[in-house]
Amino acid sequence: MNSLQRIFAIIVKELRQLSRDRLTFGMIIGIPTLQLLLFGYAINMDVRHLSAGVADLSNTAASRQVIQDMAQTQVIDINYQAADVFELETLMRQGKIVVGVYIPADYERRLQQPERSAIQLLVDGSDTVVQGAAASIARSARTSPFTDRPPEMEMRTYYNPERRSPVNTVPGLIGVILTMTMTLFTAVAIVRERERGNLELLITTPVRSAELMLAKILPYVFIGLIQVSLVLVLGVLLFKVPLRGALIDVYWVSLAFIIANLAMGLVVSTIAQTQFQAMQMTFFFLLPSILLSGFMFPFDGMPKAAQWIAEILPMTHFMRLIRGVVLRGASLSELSNEMAILWGFIAVAMTIAVLRFNKRLD
Confidence of residue 26 (pLDDT cuts 50, 70, 90): low
Confidence of residue 219 (pLDDT cuts 50, 70, 90): confident
| Residue 292, pLDDT score | 86
CATH 3.40.1710.10, the chain: domain bounds: 50-158
Residue 145 scores a pLDDT above 60: no
| Residue 361, pLDDT score | 45
d(CA 121, CA 88): 10
* CB 138, CB 153: distance < 8 Å: yes
> Is 277 or 230 the better-scoring residue by pLDDT?
230
Of the candidate ranges 170-184, 264-278, 307-321, the one whose mean pLDDT is the lowest: 264-278
Taking only the tens place, the pLDDT of each residue in 50-84 is 889 999 998 888 888 888 888 888 888 899 999 89
Of the candidate ranges 26-40, 224-238, 276-290, 317-331, the one whose mean pLDDT is the lowest: 26-40
Of the candidate ranges 36-50, 140-154, 247-261, the one whose mean pLDDT is the lowest: 140-154
Query: Pick from 265, 275, 279: which is nearest to 357 by CA?
Result: 265
> Is 115 or 267 the better-scoring residue by pLDDT?
267
> Three-class SS string for 207-221?
CCHHHHHHHHHHHHH
Confidence of residue 17 (pLDDT cuts 50, 70, 90): low
Section 358-362 average pLDDT? 50
Residue 127 scores a pLDDT above 80: no
Residue 113 scores a pLDDT above 80: no
Of the candidate ranges 43-57, 155-169, 226-240, the one whose mean pLDDT is the lowest: 43-57
Taking only the tens place, the pLDDT of each residue in 289-320 is 888 888 877 787 777 888 888 899 999 999 99
Q: How far is CA 353 from the centre of its chain?
A: 24
* CB 24, CB 276: distance < 8 Å: yes
Residue 108 scores a pLDDT above 90: no
Section 111-118 average pLDDT? 77
> Is 18 or 111 the better-scoring residue by pLDDT?
111
Section 219-229 average pLDDT? 92
> Is 27 or 2 the better-scoring residue by pLDDT?
2
Please state, as a whole number, how many other Cβ atoms lie within 10 Å of the Cβ of residue 115: 6
The CA-based angle 288-92-159, given to 5 degrees, is: 85
50-158 CATH fold: abc type-2 transporter like fold (3.40.1710)
Section 34-60 average pLDDT? 76
Task: Calculate the alpha carbon distances from 222 to 143, 176, 218, 263, 328 in Å.
Answer: 59, 17, 7, 15, 26
Section 207-226 average pLDDT? 81
The rounded mean pLDDT for the chain is 82
d(CA 100, CA 87): 10
* CB 240, CB 281: distance < 8 Å: no
Query: Pick from 196, 271, 258: which is nearest to 225 by CA?
Result: 258
d(CA 106, CA 63): 10
